[in-house]
Amino acid sequence: MTETMHVPIERTEQLVAPPQPAAQESDDEPPDPSPCMAGAPALARTKPAGRVVPFPAHRAGTISPAVKSFRKRHFPSVPSKLWNEWQWQTSHRIRTLSQLESMISLSAEERGAFSQSQRSLPLGITPYYMGLISPDDPQQPLRRSVIPTVHETVHAAGEADDPLGEETQSPVAGLVHRYPDRVLLLVTDFCSTYCRYCTRSRVVGRGAIHPSRNRLEQAFAYIAQTPAIRDVLISGGDPLMIGEEKLSWILSRLRQIPHVEIVRIGTKAPAVLPQRITPRLVRMLRQFHPLWMSLHFTHPDECTPEAYRACAMLADAGIPLGSQTVLLKGINDSVETMRRLVHHLLKMRVRPYYLYQCDPISGSAHFRAPIAKGLEIIRGLRGFTSGYAVPTYVVDAPGGGGKIPLMPDCVVGRKNDALLLRNYENGVYRYPESCNVPPA
């Protein structure tokens, strides 16, 4: 394999290809005109493009100002080399009340979470992500998504520890087989940063799911014996918390199964631990194409220069990137916030893939926005921005029914032979659709 990635830690500008001389552009032209171009007017020779101006996002600083000043305040003696190591970030996670208290001023609701024995999901925040958190605003979206509050100890009606019924659809420990042609393989329960709304909070951070060979071999055997499985989603926890060697072994074991066509990895690393996306990781991952990645971005404030750089490295390695976002009350439940997020994602070459209605996990009532809000957001995006920017809004059906897409009502009715359709501006248009189409 030819190695082409040379990405320095702190200079994203170099990710942009240097301007090429005009003469070289003609080398990329096809040698002969295509037959379908015969008779077409000759293309005017384009003028040399001049210097390529990199997209502003690439020219932005490589370190978020907030993270920079946080580091100066709380880790002044840590050199850049260490700060940019994912292992250092992981081993210096903020995990205790006293660490939190030394960095932010806690509200009564936040402090109260630490006196409740029912709080099940541990605390874990990378120093990098902590740098993005407001020290004095408990309502700041990123803060709400990772700092526990007493509300998560309140169990509302309809909530469950395993609302999606994953345990009942698990033929082998850590493998969920819900849909006919794909499986979810949980490789670890560890995350560098724990989201307070995590669907798998019943297991993550509890040390129950290890990437042990023995367990994983049972999962591989199940997949190998089930030819219908053509797609494996590796998730957790965060699979990128596993070292390159083990991860490479998992990927190569899956690649040895002939009917596994694609492998996907679900991760929040680019948002909470962008330092994890290293040249070494990317070199390893690109050996296993077709490999896709489902990233997890929640709010536009996560789209920092560091996150841009991490996504650029993955995209440059040919890994198609999608983002899954959970709709969260008071965090991202507005058209304006979601629009800013999806526009950032497109610039990061990440396709907004799903917008999830928050699952009714135990203690999540304070995060759940009404479905009408999700529909309002989709209505506010569709037509008003690029189609690529509009995610599919889904409810993961409680009990294991799978994802059910929800769309604003666009079919208004029928008039004679026409279907009446509503457009994004609320105008109603007729689409001729005869029921008596003559045979061809």
Please identify which residue in 83, 128, 129, 194 interacts with ligand SF4, judged by CB under 6 A: 194
- For residue 125, state whether it binds ligand SF4 (rule: CB under 6 A): no
Cβ–Cβ under 8 Å, residues 350 and 297: yes
User: What distance in Å separates the CA atoms of residue 176 and residue 400, rounded to the nearest whole number?
Assistant: 10
**In 249-349, at which residue ranges do the beta strands (DSSP E only) sit?**
262-267, 291-295, 321-327
- For residue 147, state whether it binds ligand SF4 (rule: CB under 6 A): no
- For residue 191, state whether it binds ligand SF4 (rule: CB under 6 A): yes
Task: State CA 104 to chain mean position distance.
Answer: 27
- For residue 195, state whether it binds ligand SF4 (rule: CB under 6 A): yes
Cβ–Cβ under 8 Å, residues 104 and 111: no
Of 86 and 194, nearer to ligand SF4 (C-beta) is 194
Of 132 and 257, nearer to ligand SF4 (C-beta) is 132
In a 3-state reduction of DSSP, which class is residue 361? strand
Encoding tokens for residue 124? 């874990």
Q: What string of DSSP letters covers 39-87?
A: TSPPPPPPPP--SPPPPHHHHS-SS-HHHHHHHHHH-TT--HHHHT-HH
- For residue 123, state whether it binds ligand SF4 (rule: CB under 6 A): no
Rounded to the nearest whole angstrom, what is the least distance from the CB of residue 261 to ligand SF4 in the complex? 25
- For residue 299, state whether it binds ligand SF4 (rule: CB under 6 A): no
In a 3-state reduction of DSSP, which class is residue 326? strand
Please identify which residue in 177, 200, 309, 368 interacts with ligand SF4, judged by CB under 6 A: 200
Of 87 and 256, nearer to ligand SF4 (C-beta) is 87
Rounded to the nearest whole angstrom, what is the least distance from the CB of residue 21 to ligand SF4 in the complex? 45
Rounded to the nearest whole angstrom, what is the least distance from the CB of residue 336 to ligand SF4 in the complex? 24
Residues 250-279 that bind ligand SF4 (CB under 6 A): 268
Of 167 and 433, nearer to ligand SF4 (C-beta) is 167
Number of residues that this document lists for the chain: 440
Please identify which residue in 236, 239, 320, 380 interacts with ligand SF4, judged by CB under 6 A: 236
So which residues are the catalytic ones? 178-179, 182, 191, 195, 198, 200, 359, 396, 403
- For residue 211, state whether it binds ligand SF4 (rule: CB under 6 A): no
Encoding tokens for residue 171? 């033929």
Cβ-based neighbours of 419, under 8 Å, separated by 6 or more: 411, 413, 430, 431, 433
Of 268 and 276, nearer to ligand SF4 (C-beta) is 268
Expressed in angstroms, the distance from the first to the final Cα of the chain is 52
Size of the site for ligand SF4 (CB under 6 A): 11
- Interface contacts to ligand SF4, rule CB under 6 A: 191, 194-195, 198, 200, 204, 236-238, 268, 296
